[in-house]
Amino acid sequence: MAELQVRSLDGEMKILNDEVLSELHGRVRGQIIVPGDPDYNEVRQIWNAMIDRHPAVIVRCTGTADVLNAIQFAMQHQLLTSIRGAGHNIAGKSLYDGAFLIDLSNMRSVRVDPQERVAVVEPGATLGDVDHETQAYGLAVPVGINSTTGIAGLTLGGGFGWLSRTYGMTVDNLLAIEVVTAEGKRLRCDKNHHADLFWASCGGGGNFGVVTSFEFKLHAVGPEVMSGPIVFPFEQAYSVLHAYRDFCANCPEELTVWAVIRDAPPLPFLKPDVHGTRVLILVALYSGDMEAGKQALAPLHQLGEAIADGFAPHPFVGFQQAFDPLLTPGARNYWKSHNFTELSDGLIEQLVEYGSKLPTPQSEIFIAQMGGATNRIAPDANAYPHRDVEFIMNVHTRWDNTSQDSACFEWAREFYDATKPFATGGVYVNFISEDEDRVQGAYGANYERLAEVKAKYDPDNFFRLNQNISPNK
């Protein structure tokens, strides 16, 4: 193996010679990939094609021992280090030119104890991996809406999806973690052991160490759930969104309804002449009894004159994958996001105005309904602080060609600015794009406490290639 130039913690490039690289090979069981290797370009890719960076070394860990040894090696040689789970984060913080990348994507084990209703999950697992194993027993943990998302990044940022109104955020269902710290120590953390580190990891991102195991509380869900989309023509968007707002104010916590403005995908229950036209889609899932779900969903039919109605019993695993075809890897993606306590008239006006001029056919605006169990947790109970939020907006701009970059950035930023007066100022950390500095907004009043935990477990900011919390020294 030839000598490699790797970026150090002080920003300079340093040489790793054959002897040092042989030492690394001797310390890890997983594959070590460097530029020039046949699979280097494939392995370095992440979900967002807009992020195109070239790490100097990729260590593909097979287990906790590899993580321990990789961190100890990086610390010994003072290497700038990034961590990757499934590589789905919008900001692409896991990739950095010239850095030492610890890749966890091959660590995908999910072990379920159906009697105790607990799942133990490795950090490379995707949401699809988790659902596949837990649904074998009719159980689930509240996670996100895209099955290729990684469990590690989702959880460490908070995590929400179709089950959150009923059972809380993903972190609200986290029982314990195992963490490898910057010192190269493995710690088991829960509310009674290293409670400060556990608190910070429940929403504080990858700032404090590498989590090699997550232990989740499970809930009885499925295997079928009453769910699906109802589609309205965009011309009705203003009136339907007002009616949707009123409906959400009184709907049961077992029901979650999201609103999406986009061009209609080729869904099988839509007539071909609707495909590609601008629509408003309300997507719903009821997590409880099927008959009660039918009754809870029934009023949605009265919100407007629908083009199509897909409400029906669906396998929970299948519904968790329903958005996957719209979120495949390889496209360029740019997001902007706000939290809201209500959908005010002024906000709805902006949603409709900017929804009428989406920059590309793949772009969309989605409004996630929150509240319920997510807001019964105290803001300082864990690191995720946004416990007054009723709706989260993600402005999801998506395109294929670099020639569209300027138009997509401009539209998303203008829309973000237009809706800012109606927002709380907070933001879901997993929705922060690479050009934004909104870490304070992500953690609010919890930021100072997070900085103190950071100073205790990572005083030199070894884990810095993330939505970074500076150590409070």
CATH 3.30.465.10 domain position(s) in the chain: 110-220+445-457
pTM over 0.85: yes
Strand partners, 103: 60, 84
CATH 3.40.462.20 domain position(s) in the chain: 224-431
The backbone torsions φ and ψ at residue 137, rounded to the nearest 5 degrees and listed phi first, read: -115, 10
| Domain formed by 224-431, architecture | 3-Layer(aba) Sandwich (3.40)
Per-residue pLDDT for the chain (473 aa), expressed as one digit of tens each? 567 899 999 999 999 999 999 999 999 999 999 999 999 999 999 999 999 999 999 999 999 999 999 999 999 999 999 999 999 999 999 999 999 999 999 999 999 999 999 999 999 999 999 999 999 999 999 999 999 999 999 999 999 999 999 999 999 999 999 999 999 999 999 999 999 999 999 999 999 999 999 999 999 999 999 999 999 999 999 999 999 999 999 999 999 999 999 999 988 888 999 999 999 999 999 999 999 999 999 999 999 999 999 999 999 999 999 999 999 999 999 999 999 999 999 999 999 999 999 999 999 999 999 999 999 999 999 999 999 999 999 999 999 999 999 999 999 999 999 999 999 999 999 999 988 899 999 999 999 999 999 999 999 999 999 999 999 76
Helical axes 405-419 vs 345-355, angle rounded to 10°: 170
The fold of the 110-220+445-457 domain, in CATH, is 3.30.465
Q: How many CA atoms lie within 13 A of 324 on its CB side?
A: 12
Distance CA 149, CA 28 (A): 26
Q: Which CATH class is domain 4-103?
A: alpha beta
The pair of three-digit structure tokens given for residue 198, joined into one six-digit string? 């556990």
Distance CA 463, CA 454 (A): 10
266: helix, strand or coil: coil
The backbone torsions φ and ψ at residue 116, rounded to the nearest 5 degrees and listed phi first, read: -85, -10
DSSP conformation class of 164: H
Residue 447 CB neighbours (<10 A):
19
Strand partners, 219: 140
Q: Match 């989740």 to its residue by tokens.
A: 216
CA dihedral for 381, 385, 389, 395, sign (positive or negative): negative
The pair of three-digit structure tokens given for residue 142, joined into one six-digit string? 């509240």
CATH 3.30.43.10 domain position(s) in the chain: 4-103
